[in-house]
Chain A
Amino acid sequence: MIYLDNAATSKPLMQCVENAEKYLLREYYNPSALYAEGYNLHLELKEARRKILSFIADESNFSLTFTSGGTEADNQAIFCGGKRGNIVTTLGEHSAVFSSAEELKQRGTEVRFANLNSDGSVNTEHLLSLIDDKTSLVSVIHVNNETGAINDIFKISEKVKNKNKYALFHSDGVQAFGKIAFKLTKNIDLYSVSAHKIGGLKGCGALIKRKNLVIKPFIFGGGQEQGLRSGTENVFAIKCFGDASENAYERINESYEKVKRLNDVLRSLLDRDIFKILSYEEASPYILAVSAIGLRGETILHEADDNGLIIGTGAACSSNAKKRFSRVVLACGADEKTADGVLRLSFSSENTMSEIKTAAEILNNIVKNRLNIMA
């Protein structure tokens, strides 16, 4: 089976399996407990926290709160950062931010959505025009999860702060962390990451926060994670998150280059008469969005699956036509026919060149055949 849906989730590292035995059978203590066994786990959490943070931020300026995943981190940023005035975000956000913003709107906060460029990145000028004195939060996704478009959040956040220095800047970094090299700058107040996109486990993520920033918790209870996220920490998953981050960052450039080659080859092998390539060359090489115009992405997904190739579509299936089309691809200016046929091919450094060649062959054949039937 060829797996090209790594942006949905990735295969966990072998180390996770080894950790499982240790943390599930032997070191199962509560890390907040006062006895030595609990305290030792607390130290391990501390080390994982330090390690993960060190890869993307200066530890003296940022802190990290473990959450149940990227979605929870995004929810905390939106609901706890965007309390007053208005919030500004983009039409290219992952649903974790987009739906949270819509909910905030329902609850009475003004929400403004910035338009996208044709590649899926945010139109910075439009974004800035939406920001005013009353803007309390700006959220811009780092790497778009559907097209792979990279937003230069460092420049954007600087411009945002120039316009309103009190507005918090949040970025969903789930598709960037462990994949592209960067360091958080002082203008970024909040940053969400997830473990399972880089070889960690599902159900684990983190919200990284500028140290001096005070925000309210999203989940209340026993006061774990410095009171910012109550609930007993999932030590096993957090340890795996640390290991996966280490593994990713040890070879980040090497993986990037390899994936870039895979992406380039797949782009070149897909038949341009039947596929429209939606992801720009400058996008993250980990995601390649294409559209089989005139077909429904989900149909191809099923047939590819039957042929040994696992891929993603732009958005979840739905009989409601409006929901069926990828929201992000439509916001890029594509027509409904293009948005209906979106496929998301996403890579990991474990994919091989021969897999990519086979995948291209499978996709070309399926789509050609299906187009003949539908003609």
Chain B
Amino acid sequence: MEKVIIIRYAEIHLKGKNRGWFERVFVVNMEKSLKGLKHEIRRHSGRYLIENFEESETENILERLKKVFGIHSYSVALKVCADMDAIFKAAQAVCGMEGKFKVNTHRADKRFPLNSMQISAEIGGRLLDCNGNIKVDVHNPDFIIDIDLRENGTALVFNEFFKGAGGMPVGTSGKGMLLISGGIDSPVAGHMIAKRGMSIDCVHFHSYPYTNMQAREKVIELTKRLSSYTCGAKLNIVSVTHIQEEIHKKCNGDYMVTLLRRFMMRIAEKIAIDSGAQCLITGESLAQVASQTVEGMTSSNSVLKTLTVLRPLCGFDKDEIIERSRAIGTYETSIEPYEDCCTVFLPKHPVTRPKLSDVIAEEEKLDVNVLVDEALKTLETLIL
């Protein structure tokens, strides 16, 4: 009787001729997430089995699998040879001590002499004989014992389904550049897009000496957390101090955030294109703060030459974002009290509905290309 983990994938089965590619990426991602732990991953008719791992590492493996996108559900099972006595022993091992239960059998091996109903009845009956504290209830069971008879003469017996992270394997939907600030929203936005199969790299803007090294450490930590879902991520760090100083000096201060965001978009687009990313991702949520209005978004979109912007949080309330942030484990880091660059030179009355023509008029007071090139010279890239 061997302990194995059954992995069922999410949407990949809907894919057509390119399904093989999706599956290969999926396996590579699982391998990356289990790096350093002894295991073998085998494909097993429409699902995967993780075998030959140390039993003491089971929890650790399950914890890591939780973060692999593309997994619909997984179960810890006992693998035995397809023999009624062996199946019964396995069923006994996973059976609860009391309560109502039912046995579900899935018989892929049609050569097996009993059909699935007969197997369920036989195993259920034997379990009842051994334990007076359990009874059968096929409509409202407290627990279900699943028996999966495979074509290769083995049977998998288990009693639990864990929900996987869902989505598509990271790397199957291209690559995006996430603008990460250090706040609550951007890591959640990155996580949501990664869930749909996109690889994520990040770009962070700082305003040293107006912001500090702790703020930078915080963003590194957030990117690391995010990278545990995305099988690694690069973090690009760029200083926008001089840009902010120039805006402060030459432009109407109320446009500080609007103009700064346009610069961020330009810089992010350049870095994205250089690193092979096909879109930008931001954590903006409609109407959350002064700059996150549709006019503000139009203003920042209009500087982009080729890339599109994904804003997955646009329809979310703050408390919904916080809930997701807690679930993915970035919240505690996000709320550390270090300032990010957006709060430096913050105007008292920021423009909330900037007219594009006014923004462009303000921006004309600056030497945009020189400032962007200068900022790009401060680029530092960390692989996390």
Q: B-contacting residues of A (Cβ < 8 Å)?
A: 296, 298-303, 306, 317-320, 323, 373-375
B338 touches A317 (CB 8 A): yes
B249's closest neighbor in chain A, by CB?
A373
5 A-B residue pairs with Cβ-Cβ distance under 8 Å, sorted by A, are A302-B208, A317-B212, A318-B339, A319-B338, A374-B248
From known contacts A299-B209, A319-B339, A320-B337, infer whether A373 and B248 are also in contact, taking CB-CB under 8 Å: yes
- Interface 1/0s, chain B 51-70, versus A by CB < 8 A? 00000000000000000000
A299 to B214, CA, bound (A): 13
Residues of B within 8 A of A306 (CB): 209
Residues of B within 8 A of A302 (CB): 208-209, 212
What 10 pairs across the A-B complex have the smallest Cβ distances? A302-B209, A319-B339, A318-B337, A303-B209, A299-B209, A373-B245, A319-B337, A299-B210, A320-B337, A317-B212
Residues of B within 8 A of A373 (CB): 245, 248-249
B210 touches A317 (CB 8 A): no
Residues of B within 8 A of A319 (CB): 337-340, 343
Residues of A within 8 A of B210 (CB): 296, 299
A317 to B338, CA, bound (A): 7
A300 to B212, CA, bound (A): 11
B244's closest neighbor in chain A, by CB?
A373
A317 touches B343 (CB 8 A): no
Q: Helix, strand, loop or mixed for chain B's interface?
A: loop
- Interface 1/0s, chain B 338-373, versus A by CB < 8 A? 111001010000000000000000000000000000
A374's closest neighbor in chain B, by CB?
B248
A25 to B214, CA, bound (A): 36
A366's closest neighbor in chain B, by CB?
B209
Which parts of B315-355 form the interface with A (CB within 8 Å)?
Answer: 337-340, 343, 345
Most chain A CB within 10 A, of B208, B210, B340, is at B210
Known: A302-B209, A318-B338. 20 other contacts (CB 8 A): A296-B210, A298-B212, A299-B209, A301-B209, A302-B212, A303-B209, A306-B209, A317-B212, A317-B337, A317-B338, A318-B337, A318-B339, A319-B338, A319-B340, A319-B343, A320-B337, A373-B245, A373-B248, A373-B249, A374-B345
- Interface 1/0s, chain B 277-314, versus A by CB < 8 A? 00000000000000000000000000000000000000
Q: How far is the CB of B215 from chain A (nearest CB, A)?
A: 9
- Interface 1/0s, chain B 73-111, versus A by CB < 8 A? 000000000000000000000000000000000000000
Residues of A within 8 A of B208 (CB): 302
Residues of B within 8 A of A300 (CB): 209
B209's closest neighbor in chain A, by CB?
A302
A296 to B210, CA, bound (A): 8
A296 to B245, CA, bound (A): 15
A319's closest neighbor in chain B, by CB?
B339
From known contacts A296-B210, A299-B210, A302-B208, infer whether A317 and B248 are also in contact, taking CB-CB under 8 Å: no
Residues of A within 8 A of B340 (CB): 319
A240 to B245, CA, bound (A): 48
Q: How far is the CB of A87 from chain B (nearest CB, A)?
A: 29
A300 to B208, CA, bound (A): 11
Residues of A within 8 A of B249 (CB): 373, 375
A44 to B44, CA, bound (A): 71
Residues of A within 8 A of B248 (CB): 373-374
Residues of B within 8 A of A317 (CB): 212, 214, 337-339
Residues of B within 8 A of A374 (CB): 248, 345
Which parts of B226-272 form the interface with A (CB within 8 Å)?
Answer: 245, 248-249
Q: How far is the CB of A86 from chain B (nearest CB, A)?
A: 32
A298 to B344, CA, bound (A): 12
A319 to B207, CA, bound (A): 14
Residues of A within 8 A of B339 (CB): 317-319
A323 touches B337 (CB 8 A): yes
Residues of A within 8 A of B209 (CB): 298-303, 306
Which parts of B203-219 form the interface with A (CB within 8 Å)?
Answer: 208-210, 212, 214
Residues of B within 8 A of A318 (CB): 337-339
Q: How far is the CB of B345 from chain A (nearest CB, A)?
A: 8
Residues of B within 8 A of A296 (CB): 210
Residues of A within 8 A of B345 (CB): 374
A321's closest neighbor in chain B, by CB?
B343
A372's closest neighbor in chain B, by CB?
B249
A332 to B262, CA, bound (A): 43
Q: How far is the CB of B246 from chain A (nearest CB, A)?
A: 9
A299 to B343, CA, bound (A): 13
A300 to B209, CA, bound (A): 7
Q: How far is the CB of B371 from chain A (nearest CB, A)?
A: 15
Most chain B CB within 10 A, of A299, A306, A375, is at A299
A333 to B259, CA, bound (A): 37
Residues of B within 8 A of A303 (CB): 209
Q: How far is the CB of B208 from chain A (nearest CB, A)?
A: 6
A58 to B324, CA, bound (A): 62
A319 to B343, CA, bound (A): 8
Which parts of B159-213 form the interface with A (CB within 8 Å)?
Answer: 208-210, 212
A319 to B181, CA, bound (A): 14
B339's closest neighbor in chain A, by CB?
A319
Q: How far is the CB of B40 from chain A (nearest CB, A)?
A: 48
Residues of A within 8 A of B337 (CB): 317-320, 323
B336's closest neighbor in chain A, by CB?
A319
Most chain B CB within 10 A, of A298, A306, A320, is at A298
Most chain A CB within 10 A, of B214, B249, B339, B345, is at B339
